[in-house]
Structure 1
Amino acid sequence: MNRTIVEKVRCMISAAKLPKPFWGEAVLTACYLINRSPSVPLNFEVPEKIWTGKDITYSHLRVFGCKAFAHVSSQLRKKLDLKSTPCIFIGYGDEEFGYRLWDPELKKVIRSRDVIFYEDQYYDFKASINEQQSFKVPEMISETKDDIPTDEQNNEVDDADQGGVEQGELPPLDNIESLPDVSNEETQVRRSDRVRVPSSRYPTSNYILLTSEGEPESFQEAQSHINKANWQKAMKDEMNSLHKNQTYELVKLPKGKKALKNKWVFKLKKDGKGNIVKYKARLVVKGFQQKEGIDFDEIFSPVVKMMSIRVVLGLVASLDLELEQMDVKTAFLHGDLDEEIYMEQPDGFKIPKKEHLVCKLKKSLYGLKQAPRQWYKKFDSFMVSHEYKRTIADHCMYLKKFPDGKFVILLLYVDDMLIVGQDATMINNLKKDLSKFFDMKDLGPAQQILGMKIIRDRESRKLFLSQEEYVERVIKRFNMENAKPVGTPLANHFKLSKKNSPSSDKEKEEMKKVPYYSAVGSLMYAMVCTRPDIAHAVGVVSRYLANPGKQHWEAVKWILRYLKGSSKLCLCYGGAKPIVKGYTDADMAGDLDNRKSTSSYVFTLAGGAISWQSKLQKCVALSTTEAEYIAAVEAGKELIWLKRFLQELGFPQAEYIIHCDSQSAMDLSKNSMYHSRTKHIDIRYHWLREAIERGELKLSKINTNDNPADMLTKVVTQDKHKLCADIVGLRIVQQRLEGEIC
Structure 2
Amino acid sequence: MELTEISPNGFEQCLIDSATTHTILRHRDYFSHMTLVDANVNTISGVAKLIEGSGIACVILSKGTKLIIKDVLYSSKSRRNLLSFKDMRLNGFHIETMSENQKEYLCLTTNRSGNKYISEKMPAYSSGLYYTYISPIEINVVSKINDHNSFILWHDRLGHPGSTMMHKIIQNSLGHSLNNVKIPQSSDFSCTACSLGKLIIRPSLYKIGVESPAFLETIQGDICGPIAPPCGPFRYFMVLIDASTRWSHVSLLSTRNFAFANLLAQIIRLRSQFPDFSIKKIRLDNAGEFTSQSFNDYCMSIGIDVEHPVPHVHTQNGLAESLIKRLQLIARPLLMKSRLPSSAWGYAIMHAANLIRLRPTAYHKFSPLQLISGKEPNISHIKIFGCSVYVPIAPPYRTKMGPQRRLGIYVGFKSPSIINYLEPMTGDLFTARFDDCHFDETVFPALGGDNKEMDPRTEDITWNATGLSFLDSRTNACEQEIQKIIHLQSVANQLPDAFTDSKKVTKSHIPAMNTPSRIEIPAEISERTLANESMIRKKRGRPLGSRDLKPRKLKKQDVVCDAKEVQPSQEGNEHYDNIGIEDNINNKDTSKEDPITFEEVNIPDTDRNVDNFEISINYVSNGMQWNRKDIDVNDIFSYAIATDIMNEHDDNEPKSIDECRRRNDWPKWNEAIQVELKSLEKRNVFGPIVHTPKGVKPVGFKWVFVRKRNEKNEIVRYKARLVAQGFSQMPGINYDETYSPVVDATTLRFLIGMSVFERLQMRLMDVVTAYLYGSLDTNIYMRIPGGFKIPDAYSSKSRDLFSIKLQKSLYGLKQSGRMWYNRLSEYLIKEGYKNDPISPCVFIQRSESGFAIIAVYVDDLNIIGTSNEIENTAKYLMKEFEMKDLGRTKFCLGIQIEHLRNGIFIHQSNYTEKLLKRFYMEKAHPLNLTSTLSRCVKINFNTNTYT
User: TM-score when scaled to structure 2?
Assistant: 0.32
More strand by share: 2
| Higher RCO (CA-CA < 8 Å; seq separation 6+) | 1
- Give the greater-gyration-radius structure (CA): 2
More helix by share: 1
